[in-house]
């Protein structure tokens, strides 16, 4: 039952879509839907999403393989660097790129910026999965004379599929609903047109209709991702514990390997940081208003921190349910949490205005409302983490506890939650990061007079006071870097955090900590 609450939260904006659409003249609705331009833009949006996802997968998987399998120096540092782009808002990245390379505007720019901002969503689960993968198969393959590259294609990659697909899902949803980066880079997507049509007419109907179309596309993507989880079995079978994987000497590939990782870090982190420096050095508007900055940091921490906790509390039941039970209802509940994720933020914001002014006016423009809004937006990030880590702990522990007479509540508290703790921490950190950067919903719903870093950044760049904006942008990245660092750290020594994003339920078991769960691994793989 608690899982239902989360699902209701997530589909609340869809309720609003229905209400607004029901008010409107059906002919107008239809005209909006079949307008050639709507369809054209839907095409260009999907095209962008597919390309960005593909590029992110290449970057994320490539980086994960090099960092986890290659014999690199400073692996720990590379791991953190590969996760850090999550701390940089995509609109800041977009801005840096367009100032540095104006010609990049358009499709190319959108692909470059969004891929560089989003690839950690693929990198993190893939690296985590690689870390847990039993190297025996890869070693067998190589010992039989198959090259490193062919081994990667034929042995490693298929086993990583669920982790990669989970990350790819988040990337594609992010790309579909992004507004800031594509508008700065001047590439027309569906979401951008929703904002524009809405700006022009102040009429919510077209925006709502278009959002409905976007929800359908999301549904297709979510279902497609579920398909890739498929029926294949990924878990290790048999008894014994998997060894930690050994590093593969890079040989002649050493220079290209360092080079490509370095380039990736420079493009995704270096350029935005340089831009901050440039803003500070050339601008004249840079008086540092310290109390204001402190207030904005406080506001950001309260909203993003609170939002992360609330989102995780809502996500826990859904994630645990999806990890332990199969069947239509848990599956639907879990997937329902994704649907709200692709609705443009402005529509989510208005739907919450709609519901609160009618049914909970006391909550209107209050901190709890913003936290609730973040939950609607970011549930998938948290649900995925919980599900992945809960699925990795063998249910035998819970079964034993129950058979020894523990009440279900005690089992949850003493067994299930502690085992899922790394995933809970990772999910909370991801939501925190996303909430720090969130602007649209925050602007509409924040308590009057409350400041956040993102709001200040928006306000200052609006008047092109870039030097005044720079401290806010820098602090936004700095505060975000802390949880990102925790996400990207090499956790080899501590037994391995599970996939920090949605993760791969079927690559189950951190066997170095739980010896001999062989038969249960089979059990779990069968369930998925």
DSSP result, 17-41: HHHHHHHS-HHHHHHHHH-HHHHHH
Binding track, positions 169-208, relative to other proteins; x by CB under 8 A = --------------xx-x-x---xx--xxxxxxxxx----
* Binding to other proteins, residues 425-464 (CB under 8 A): 440, 443-444, 448-449, 459-460, 462-464
Residue 283 interacts with other proteins (CB under 8 A): yes or no: yes
Closest by CA position to 80, among listed 528, 527, 483, 520: 483
Residue 522 interacts with other proteins (CB under 8 A): yes or no: no
Q: How many CA atoms lie within 13 A of 300 on its CB side?
A: 28
Q: From CA 268, how far away is CA 274, in angstroms rounded?
A: 11
Binding track, positions 290-319, relative to other proteins; x by CB under 8 A = ---------------------------x--
Residue 467 interacts with other proteins (CB under 8 A): yes or no: yes
Residue 397 interacts with other proteins (CB under 8 A): yes or no: no
Task: Provide, rounded to whole angstroms, the least separation between the CB of residue 351 and other proteins.
Answer: 8
Q: Taking a C-beta distance cutoff of 8 angstroms, is the pair 303, 452 a contact?
A: yes
CA angle (50, 53, 55) in 5-degree steps: 110
**Beta partners for residue 70, in sequence order:** 248
* Binding to other proteins, residues 212-271 (CB under 8 A): 215-216, 219-220, 222-223, 226-227
* Binding to other proteins, residues 351-380 (CB under 8 A): 353-361, 364-365
Closest by CA position to 489, among listed 175, 187, 80: 80
Q: Which is nearer to other proteins, 208 or 481 (CB)?
A: 208
Q: Which is nearer to other proteins, 1 or 290 (CB)?
A: 1
Residue 19 interacts with other proteins (CB under 8 A): yes or no: yes
Number of residues interacting with other proteins: please give it, by CB under 8 A.
Answer: 89
Any idea which residue has 């955090």 for tokens?
497
Q: Which is nearer to other proteins, 149 or 200 (CB)?
A: 200
CA angle (502, 505, 511) in 5-degree steps: 120
Residue choice 37, 73, 409, 493 for contact with other proteins (CB under 8 A): 37
Residue 465 interacts with other proteins (CB under 8 A): yes or no: yes
* Binding to other proteins, residues 320-349 (CB under 8 A): 320-321, 325-333, 335-336, 339, 346, 349
Q: From CA 51, how far away is CA 172, in angstroms rounded?
A: 9
Task: Provide, rounded to whole angstroms, the least separation between the CB of residue 407 and other proteins.
Answer: 12
Task: Provide, rounded to whole angstroms, the least separation between the CB of residue 436 and other proteins.
Answer: 19
Task: Provide, rounded to whole angstroms, the least separation between the CB of residue 17 and other proteins.
Answer: 10
Q: Which is nearer to other proteins, 114 or 184 (CB)?
A: 184
Query: How far from the centroid of its chain's Cα atoms is residue 332's Cα?
Result: 20
Task: Provide, rounded to whole angstroms, the least separation between the CB of residue 52 and other proteins.
Answer: 19
> What are the residue ranges of helices labelled H in 185-289?
190-201, 204-229, 254-265, 271-282
* Binding to other proteins, residues 48-77 (CB under 8 A): none
Residue 145 interacts with other proteins (CB under 8 A): yes or no: no
Q: Which is nearer to other proteins, 81 or 346 (CB)?
A: 346
Q: Taking a C-beta distance cutoff of 8 angstroms, is the pair 497, 423 a contact?
A: yes
Q: From CA 499, how far away is CA 231, in angstroms rounded?
A: 20
Work out the number of other CB atoms within 10 angstroms of the CB of residue 286. Answer: 18
Q: Which is nearer to other proteins, 162 or 500 (CB)?
A: 162
Alpha carbon distances (Å) from 300 to 304, 433, 443, 469? 6, 11, 12, 15
Any idea which residue has 């997968």 for tokens?
57
Handedness of CA 416, 418, 422, 427 (dihedral sign): positive
Q: Which is nearer to other proteins, 260 or 414 (CB)?
A: 414
Binding track, positions 89-108, relative to other proteins; x by CB under 8 A = -------------x------
Residue 287 interacts with other proteins (CB under 8 A): yes or no: no
Q: From CA 524, how far away is CA 528, in angstroms rounded?
A: 6
Kindly compute the dihedral angle of the four CA atoms of residues 255, 258, 263, 266, in this order, to the nearest 10 degrees. Answer: -140
Task: Provide, rounded to whole angstroms, the least separation between the CB of residue 171 and other proteins.
Answer: 20
């Amino acid at each position: 039952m608690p899982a239902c609450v989360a699902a209701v939260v997530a589909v609340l904006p869809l309720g609003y879509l229905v209400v607004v659409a029901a008010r409107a003249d059906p002919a107008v609705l239809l005209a909006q839907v079949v307008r050639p331009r709507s369809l054209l833009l839907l095409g260009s949006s999907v095209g962008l999403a597919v390309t960005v996802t593909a590029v992110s997968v290449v970057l994320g998987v490539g980086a994960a393989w090099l960092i986890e399998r290659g014999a690199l120096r400073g692996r720990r540092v590379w791991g953190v660097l590969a996760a850090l782009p999550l701390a940089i808002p995509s609109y800041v990245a977009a801005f840096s790129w367009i100032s540095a390379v104006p010609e990049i505007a358009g499709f190319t720019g959108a692909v470059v910026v969004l891929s560089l901002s989003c690839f950690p969503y693929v990198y993190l689960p893939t690296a985590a999965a690689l870390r847990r993968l039993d190297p025996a198969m890869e070693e067998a393959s190589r010992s039989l004379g198959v090259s490193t590259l062919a081994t990667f294609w034929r042995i490693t990659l298929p086993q990583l599929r669920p982790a990669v697909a989970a990350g790819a899902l988040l990337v594609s949803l992010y790309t579909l609903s992004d507004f800031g980066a594509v508008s700065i880079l001047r590439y027309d997507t569906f979401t951008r047109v929703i904002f524009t049509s809405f700006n022009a007419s102040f009429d919510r109907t077209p925006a709502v209709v278009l959002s409905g179309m976007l929800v359908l596309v999301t549904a297709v993507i979510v279902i497609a991702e579920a398909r890739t989880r498929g029926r294949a079995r990924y878990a290790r079978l048999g008894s014994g514990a998997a060894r930690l994987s050994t590093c593969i000497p890079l040989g002649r590939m050493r220079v290209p390997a360092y080079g490509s990782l370095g380039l990736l870090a420079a493009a995704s982190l270096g350029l935005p940081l340089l831009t901050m420096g440039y803003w500070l050095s050339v601008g004249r508007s840079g008086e540092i208003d310290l109390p204001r900055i402190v207030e904005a940091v406080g506001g950001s921490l309260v909203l993003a921190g609170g939002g992360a906790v609330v989102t995780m509390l809502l996500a826990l039941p859904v994630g645990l349910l999806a990890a332990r039970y199969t069947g239509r209802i848990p599956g639907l509940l879990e997937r329902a949490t994704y649907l709200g994720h692709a609705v443009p933020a402005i529509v989510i914001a208005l739907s919450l205005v709609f519901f609160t002014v009618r049914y909970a006016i006391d909550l209107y423009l209050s901190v709890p409302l913003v936290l609730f809004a973040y939950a609607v937006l970011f549930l998938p990030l948290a649900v995925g983490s919980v599900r992945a880590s809960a699925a990795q702990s063998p249910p035998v522990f819970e079964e034993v506890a129950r058979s020894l007479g523990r009440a279900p509540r005690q089992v949850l508290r003493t067994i299930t939650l502690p085992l899922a703790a790394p995933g809970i921490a990772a999910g909370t950190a991801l939501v925190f990061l996303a909430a720090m950067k969130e602007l649209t919903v925050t602007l509409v719903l924040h308590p009057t007079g409350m400041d956040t870093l993102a709001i200040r950044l928006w306000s200052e760049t609006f008047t092109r006071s870039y030097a005044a904006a720079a401290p806010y942008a820098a602090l936004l990245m700095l505060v975000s870097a802390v949880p990102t660092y925790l996400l990207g750290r090499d956790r080899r020594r501590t037994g391995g955090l599970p996939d920090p994003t949605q993760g791969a339920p079927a690559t189950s078991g951190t066997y170095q900590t739980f010896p001999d769960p062989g038969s249960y691994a089979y059990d779990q793989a069968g369930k998925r």
